[in-house]
Structure 1
């Protein structure tokens, strides 16, 4: 049982995470390229989004892992043998609940503590990209302005901007003077001051002009350090600008101490939404058994499809209930836990039918209807119709 559940569980989790990451990766590459940031930021942003994807993927992986394990046991008649020697469904659910309890603890840690902080760091990276705080973004062949007085242009960039060549710099001084620099090569170096970087130039010429000079001064150098002040930007806000960035203990505290009733409703709604989502995982083994044991001689995968649809639909209902609770029209406790109790009642009823009713099938009628519809569609396919005519 451990082996049968592990393979589909972790396969589903990895595939779901990869699909979600690939979808977001394309948008992040486009966003980072538009803002002129380094490509390495994309991987940091994706790493901060991974806890959010795991919070969605773990319940689906758990459901499919247990469902496919019982479906395989039923398809090979091993389930009939186990039932024949006196093993009840409650006994067979012991191993699935070991998985469930472990994953409930993992998911609680993710949605309660890891995901809020990762979400904050993701928003911070977006802010730094927009404000240029990740460093000077230099585009090849274009004039880049640093503030109102400095202009820089480069001809070539190598090693992700660490080696630059064909450099021109013009700087207007406060007293009315200016200087211009051309250099063969250059590179940016950090300093102890986070608002200033050093542009180290190699093999170049500096031309300085000022009102008191009769003619500009010309200096040829083999190495010259040019300080570049970075544009000042506002500091990013503290964590907690959104409810998604609060941990569960923080939400519980703010639900009682927030200064306004609107804020209390909002934080309480987010708190109950996360707790309900985690508590739902305790029902998934019962749902998986009810949907994973098909009627005899049935080959359709309706149970798998129906299980995913039920879980996703219930998740969307919870999101709508949380949004409704934030408005203060309904107490968040009622808005989120009443749907949970209804969903729990449905799942328990389905499990009772399969486990304690002889020959009971909670989706037997749907299986038969789905099988007939599939057979009717198959018979009307062009290739099937020609074979029937030849016969």
Structure 2
């Protein structure tokens, strides 16, 4: 790799990594607020939020990597063009195809990474995320007891805690009402308490301190009242149903599994259609990354004597639009109305044809500018806006 390639690699790396970090942070922050609300509503520990977010990261990376590649290459070409470095490179005989050598090295590496993520890592991460949601809803995760509210442990026990400190390790103001194994009612109040593990995984020990126990036996009309300094109360944990197996949703299936189901005659037509649609959707999304360097070069080079950022805006619009078209095509293919190959690869062919035309225009047509007409339209629109607000124009001139 010569000095030119190293220079291009540095130009691309900074916006690429920045875009990945910013997009991942924005997506994580948006989901984090909802997850905190969900976990707080279900009464779960805060640590489960970070585990759920970690399982969502592969999905976010699958969306962020193509955008990061696109903006990284586009901003690199834009910097070369606006600083006149691109004109010097072209003057010494460097073609656009040669300048795309490093961008395609990035594209190949990121496409392989993205294929491994959407094809193998993301399905398992999605399943783990759904399992955490299920365990949190069912209480099998060990959800914390809500302070100041009555919490039921099955139909035979009710617990209320006034205060909780040290992340639930120190409980105070405790009230317990339960039905014992022989069917007799039992009520306990205590100043403090602590949950402890036992040898039986289905039973937890509630160690109570400084309290009163009221036990009513069916053979006696007078309840027994006991005061204690320390009392260990065994609490049977309720039984929870098992979480479903992985693969009930296409998002949880790897690419080889989708391919096998798509060709199997032992499944229903609906399963076959949805599996084939998901398989071709993931492949089309990964293969489209090889078009992004050419699209970035076409959109990143503004017209001469212009610093317009219209290309940056159009690049994001085109990627998001193509992604949404693919999602719609996957939905149509899953219904069996159109073969998934036609539904997903025809839009890819149209998108590829558009990208190739734009790249050919900027690389091989003298003075060619694929978005030149749009640049002129936006320039005229901006001038009309400035004429519409002359007072603001004078203030800007004075400033």
What is the aligned partner in structure 2 of residue 203 from structure 1?
Answer: 210
Distance 1:122 1:54, change over 3 A: same
Unpaired runs of 5+ in structure 1? none
Between 1:354-363 and 1:141-150, the stretch displaced more is 141-150
Using the TM superposition, give the Cα deviation of residue 381 of structure 1 relative to its aligned residue in structure 2, in angstroms.
2.5
Between 1:260-269 and 1:224-233, the stretch displaced more is 224-233
SS of 1:100's equivalent? helix
Decide which of 117, 122, 126 is 1:119's aligned counterpart: 126
Using the TM superposition, give the Cα deviation of residue 192 of structure 1 relative to its aligned residue in structure 2, in angstroms.
4.5
Using the TM superposition, give the Cα deviation of residue 193 of structure 1 relative to its aligned residue in structure 2, in angstroms.
3.8
Using the TM superposition, give the Cα deviation of residue 211 of structure 1 relative to its aligned residue in structure 2, in angstroms.
2.2
* Cα distance per residue 1:138-194 (max 9 Å; x no partner): 222222222222121212111222210111212223544222222221111233544
Query: Is the CA contact 1:251–1:267 (under 8 Å) kept in the aligned structure 2?
Result: yes
Mapped to 2, the partners of 1:243 and 1:109 lie a distance apart of 16
* Cα distance per residue 1:254-275 (max 9 Å; x no partner): 1111511221111000000000
SS of 1:225's equivalent? strand
Decide which of 224, 239, 248 is 1:232's aligned counterpart: 239
Mapped to 2, the partners of 1:181 and 1:13 lie a distance apart of 55
Mapped to 1, the partners of 2:270 and 2:396 lie a distance apart of 67
Query: Is the CA contact 1:298–1:367 (under 8 Å) kept in the aligned structure 2?
Result: no
What is the aligned partner in structure 1 of residue 66 from structure 2?
Answer: 59
Mapped to 1, the partners of 2:135 and 2:390 lie a distance apart of 58
Mapped to 2, the partners of 1:112 and 1:247 lie a distance apart of 5
Query: Is the CA contact 1:32–1:129 (under 8 Å) kept in the aligned structure 2?
Result: yes
Decide which of 57, 60, 79 is 1:72's aligned counterpart: 79
1:30 pairs with 2:62: no
Using the TM superposition, give the Cα deviation of residue 232 of structure 1 relative to its aligned residue in structure 2, in angstroms.
1.7
Using the TM superposition, give the Cα deviation of residue 98 of structure 1 relative to its aligned residue in structure 2, in angstroms.
1.1
1:168 pairs with 2:168: no
Using the TM superposition, give the Cα deviation of residue 200 of structure 1 relative to its aligned residue in structure 2, in angstroms.
1.5
SS of 2:155's equivalent? coil
Using the TM superposition, give the Cα deviation of residue 214 of structure 1 relative to its aligned residue in structure 2, in angstroms.
5.9
Query: Is the CA contact 1:136–1:230 (under 8 Å) kept in the aligned structure 2?
Result: no
Decide which of 75, 91, 101 is 1:84's aligned counterpart: 91
1:348 pairs with 2:352: no
Query: Is the CA contact 2:178–2:186 (under 8 Å) kept in the aligned structure 1?
Result: yes
What is the aligned partner in structure 2 of residue 318 from structure 1?
Answer: 326
The correspondence of residues 260-299 of structure 1 with structure 2, limited to 5 A, is 260-299=268-307
Cα RMSD of the aligned pairs, angstroms, is 1.8
Query: Is the CA contact 1:239–1:245 (under 8 Å) kept in the aligned structure 2?
Result: yes
Distance 1:389 1:277, change over 3 A: closer
Query: Is the CA contact 2:179–2:185 (under 8 Å) kept in the aligned structure 1?
Result: yes
Show structure 1 runs of 4+ deviating over 4 A. 385-390
What is the aligned partner in structure 2 of residue 7 from structure 1?
Answer: 14
Mapped to 2, the partners of 1:323 and 1:193 lie a distance apart of 48
Mapped to 1, the partners of 2:397 and 2:106 lie a distance apart of 52
Mapped to 1, the partners of 2:143 and 2:103 lie a distance apart of 53
Decide which of 373, 387, 392 is 1:379's aligned counterpart: 387
What is the aligned partner in structure 1 of residue 3 from structure 2?
Answer: none
Mapped to 2, the partners of 1:65 and 1:389 lie a distance apart of 34
Mapped to 1, the partners of 2:35 and 2:54 lie a distance apart of 12
Mapped to 2, the partners of 1:71 and 1:273 lie a distance apart of 31
- Report the TM-score when normalising by structure 1: 0.95
SS of 1:148's equivalent? helix
Using the TM superposition, give the Cα deviation of residue 52 of structure 1 relative to its aligned residue in structure 2, in angstroms.
0.6
Mapped to 1, the partners of 2:369 and 2:199 lie a distance apart of 71
Mapped to 1, the partners of 2:19 and 2:297 lie a distance apart of 18
Decide which of 332, 338, 347 is 1:339's aligned counterpart: 347
Query: Is the CA contact 2:45–2:143 (under 8 Å) kept in the aligned structure 1?
Result: no
Decide which of 179, 187, 190 is 1:183's aligned counterpart: 190
What is the aligned partner in structure 2 of residue 256 from structure 1?
Answer: 263
Using the TM superposition, give the Cα deviation of residue 285 of structure 1 relative to its aligned residue in structure 2, in angstroms.
0.1
